[in-house]
Amino acid sequence: MTSKSSEKTGSQSPGREEGGRRPEARSRRNFLRSSAALAGGGMLAAGTKAAAAPLAIPSIAHETGRPIPESVYGMPSKFEAHVARRRTDVFKNRQNWSDWSMSPLQHQPGIITPNGLIFERHHAGIPDIDPATHRLVIHGMVRQPLEFRMEDLVRYPSVSRFHFHECSGNGLTDWLKPASTTVQQTHGLLSGVLWTGVLASTLFEEAGVDPRGKWALFEGADSAGHARSIPLEKVMDDTIIAYAMNGERLRPENGYPVRAVMPGWEGNVSIKWLRRIKVGDQPWHLRSETARYTDPMPGGKWRQFSMVMEAKSVITNPSGGMDLKGPGFYEITGLAWSGNGKIRAVDVSVDGGKTWREAMLEGPVMDKCLTRFKAPWEWDGKPAVLMSRAVDSMGYVQPTVKDLQKTRAIVGFVQHHNAIQPWTVNAKGEVRNAIGQA
């Protein structure tokens, strides 16, 4: 006790006050209350019944801690090293210039992904661009081509907006049978971000768009020169020329120093390391629009320019690879989002879709943004199949894989997988990916 200084040495020290008490009998039984019904009908998980006092002073409290350095950018605890973005565990991409890593959704509460955990997707590695030399040009069918330094861009009126960000390939390994184990691997090409930048419309109003202009080419400064053709309507509607994310400048892997953000659309159109935008009167039909980022349809046709990410949801807890620690209360929680607007409702099933009940949506519920849903669940210890189903503000209901098979061809690595994800729970409490099986 003598090393407890500061607040603990006063005459009314709570530590001293309790020194005189006799400990009660200590019970470490890990009980689960069966009487405390939640509003949703579930039961509470509970702590262990404890002795009232005195409490052991933990050994850590006998040592002064780490001091603050003069200047620092902080990092997570060493005990959280398992929380990282990871490459796929389904197949190894050994060449790895064109590669991706996935966000650990099973460890992410709320609707914001920390910048250190936001998923990555690059076609030729991560360039390390000096913002002092980077330039963005707007040209083509405009009255006045414009060139911007970063110090120019940050002087314009800015916006900060919360949006989800999802790769069109999210889930492509898991359509008809389980290939992945965790939700990080089935759904981790998804992040929630507060983007900051200038509306593209602000810059385009200054450049002056030719009335013949209908499309815009966005091109990156990476060595792949990744580029996409974007309808000018989207550019002028809500596209952000973004230089910051979640309260700081973009990270190199996310497009530093400047990128496009097309809210609600597949991630690859939000061109990173943005170096030019060219206005034209038709799409460019780039390789990324003919051979890649297209969807096979029944009859051998391929759908182009399917850029909206339709309504989707996934339960992140409990989710694949977890082990439930016996019957009792669990909070079912997960994420829902729609590229067409806001999430209106999420339904949850614990019996493989036979019955559904509406989950609670945690506010703020924002446009084209991750929405957190929650539903209490009292697990009776018997096998269960957990599912979630999103409904968006357009009235669109998240489909099953079988629903999607009616209009799409599921062959090869198919993009735009927004089907319902089932997780099975067996009697041992093991949670498993059951896509195509439940």
> Of these, 19, 225, 298, 383, which contacts a second copy (CB under 8 A)?
225
Q: How far is CA 54 from CA 4, 16, 35, 46, 94, in A?
A: 15, 10, 29, 21, 57
Distance CA 404, CA 402 (A): 5
For residues 240 and 197, the answer to whether their CB atoms sit within 8 Å is yes
Q: Supply the minimum distance, in Å, between the C-beta of residue 132 and a second copy.
A: 8
Q: Supply the minimum distance, in Å, between the C-beta of residue 88 and a second copy.
A: 10
Q: Supply the minimum distance, in Å, between the C-beta of residue 45 and a second copy.
A: 4
| Residues of this chain, 108-127, that bind a second copy according to CB under 8 A | 108-118, 120, 122-127
Report residue 36 as tokens.
């405390």
Q: Which is nearer to a second copy, 91 or 406 (CB)?
A: 91
- Residue 403 phi/psi, 5-degree rounding, is -60, -45
Distance CA 74, CA 80 (A): 14
Q: Does 402 bind a second copy (CB under 8 A)?
A: no
Distance CA 219, CA 227 (A): 4
Q: Which is nearer to a second copy, 217 or 404 (CB)?
A: 217
Q: Which is nearer to a second copy, 221 or 434 (CB)?
A: 221
> Of these, 201, 210, 236, 286, which contacts a second copy (CB under 8 A)?
286
282: left (phi over 0), alpha (psi -120 to 50) or beta: beta
Q: Supply the minimum distance, in Å, between the C-beta of residue 421 and a second copy.
A: 20
Q: Which is nearer to a second copy, 225 or 381 (CB)?
A: 225
Q: Supply the minimum distance, in Å, between the C-beta of residue 295 and a second copy.
A: 19
Q: How far is CA 166 from CA 5, 9, 268, 378, in A?
A: 50, 54, 9, 32
Rg, C-alpha atoms of the chain: 26
For residue 168, give the nearest of 97, 234, 228 by alpha carbon: 228
Q: Which is nearer to a second copy, 242 or 311 (CB)?
A: 242
Q: Supply the minimum distance, in Å, between the C-beta of residue 194 and a second copy.
A: 5
> Of these, 330, 337, 373, 379, which contacts a second copy (CB under 8 A)?
330
Q: Which is nearer to a second copy, 320 or 399 (CB)?
A: 320
Q: Rounded to an integer, what is the distance from CA 33 to the centroid of its chain? A: 34
| Residues of this chain, 130-189, that bind a second copy according to CB under 8 A | 130-140, 144-149, 151-153, 155-160, 162
Q: Which is nearer to a second copy, 343 or 401 (CB)?
A: 343
Q: Which is nearer to a second copy, 376 or 399 (CB)?
A: 376
Report residue 251 as tokens.
């990270």
Count of residues that bind a second copy according to CB under 8 A? 155
| Residues of this chain, 26-85, that bind a second copy according to CB under 8 A | 28, 30, 33, 36, 38, 44-53, 55, 58, 60-68, 70-80, 83-85
Q: Which is nearer to a second copy, 295 or 362 (CB)?
A: 362
CA angle 137, 143, 144 (to 5 degrees): 40
Q: Which is nearer to a second copy, 96 or 426 (CB)?
A: 96
> Of these, 3, 34, 407, 426, which contacts a second copy (CB under 8 A)?
3
Distance CA 192, CA 370 (A): 6
Partners of residue 159 on adjacent β-strands: 197
Applying CB under 8 A, the span of 92-100, 335-343, 347-355, 418-426 interacting with a second copy comes to 92-100
| Residues of this chain, 205-224, that bind a second copy according to CB under 8 A | 205-206, 217, 219, 221-224
Distance CA 118, CA 103 (A): 6
Partners of residue 372 on adjacent β-strands: 335, 362
Task: Kindly report the number of other CB atoms within 10 A of residue 52's CB atom.
Answer: 11
- Starting at the edge strand found earlier in the chain, the sheet holding 360-362 runs 312-317, 328-337, 371-379, 360-362
Q: Supply the minimum distance, in Å, between the C-beta of residue 237 and a second copy.
A: 18
Q: Which residues contact 98 (CB under 8 A, 6 or more apart)?
A: 122, 123, 124, 224
| Residues of this chain, 348-377, that bind a second copy according to CB under 8 A | 362, 364, 366, 372, 374, 376
Q: Supply the minimum distance, in Å, between the C-beta of residue 348 and a second copy.
A: 14
